[in-house]
């Protein structure tokens, strides 16, 4: 975990730059067996938020790799201590940017698939009431994100898939259950 003292660079600027680079990269590819893919995934439960992503499908002879660059923002509520903030709960956002690779064992992107994620997430300061006062650290922590998982894909229409999935690893929540729609 790397501590960042002053985090002035906005996540949206990084995401836009990565988006432009990712869209330009197919122009230089020799193999043009690629299709664009867009992902939208609401998350609910302990962490509520949304994931959006874009990427490419890379088709091989008997399988497909779906590579997407994702931005995920999750809201987390935590106990702050009623004597200090005059409310029992505070809220913070975990922002993640990661590359997700889904391997489908068929060319139709149906049935089961393997999930691999690599990237980073930013952990905000969480203020907790302690016996010695308030631990109100204003630092943002830069943490690696590495997970592996499994999913199942259902065709909704010719271009839309519904993909429930489960992945485990180092991320803002150790176990992630996702319900994604890909276009």
Q: CATH number of the domain at 156, please.
A: 2.40.160
Cα–Cα distance measured from residue 2 to residue 25, given in angstroms and rounded to the nearest whole number:
30
Cα–Cα distance measured from residue 122 to residue 128, given in angstroms and rounded to the nearest whole number:
18
Ramachandran category for residue 133: left, alpha or beta (phi over 0 → left; psi -120 to 50 → alpha): left
Cα–Cα distance measured from residue 139 to residue 130, given in angstroms and rounded to the nearest whole number:
18
Q: Give whole-number Cα distances, 34 to 38, 59, 105, 110, 182, in Å.
A: 13, 7, 16, 17, 15
Residue 133 pLDDT: 47
- Show the tokens assigned to 130: 């302690």
Q: What are phi and psi of 16, to 5 degrees?
A: -65, -40
Number of domains in the chain: 1
- Show the tokens assigned to 140: 């943002």
Average pLDDT score over residue span 62-70:
90
Write the pLDDT tens digit of every residue in 122-178. Answer: 877 655 544 444 455 567 788 899 999 999 999 999 889 999 999 999 887 788 888
Residue 163 pLDDT: 94
Residue 136 pLDDT: 54
Q: DSSP assignment of 77-113, as one string?
A: EEE--HHHHSSSEEEEEEEEEEEEEEEESSSS--EEE
Which residue range forms the structural domain that includes residue 138? 2-25+33-182
> Among 96, 18, 22, which Cα is nearest to 56's?
22
């Amino acid at each position: 975990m790397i501590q960042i003292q002053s985090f002035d660079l906005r996540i949206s600027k990084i995401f836009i730059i990565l988006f432009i680079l990712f869209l330009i990269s197919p122009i230089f590819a020799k193999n043009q067996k690629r299709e664009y893919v867009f992902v939208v995934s609401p998350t609910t439960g302990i962490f509520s938020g949304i994931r959006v992503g874009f990427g490419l499908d890379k088709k091989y002879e008997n399988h497909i790799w779906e590579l997407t660059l994702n931005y995920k923002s999750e809201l987390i509520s935590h106990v702050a201590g009623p004597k200090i903030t005059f409310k029992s709960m505070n809220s913070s956002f975990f922002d993640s940017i990661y590359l997700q690779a889904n391997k489908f064992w068929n060319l139709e992107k149906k049935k089961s698939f393997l999930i691999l994620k690599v990237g980073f997430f930013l952990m905000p300061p969480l203020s907790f009431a302690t016996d010695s006062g308030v631990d109100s650290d204003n630092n943002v922590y830069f943490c690696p994100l590495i997970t592996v998982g499994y999913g199942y894909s259902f065709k909704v229409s010719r271009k839309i898939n519904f993909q429930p999935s489960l992945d485990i690893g180092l991320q803002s929540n150790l176990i992630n259950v996702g319900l994604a729609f890909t276009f």
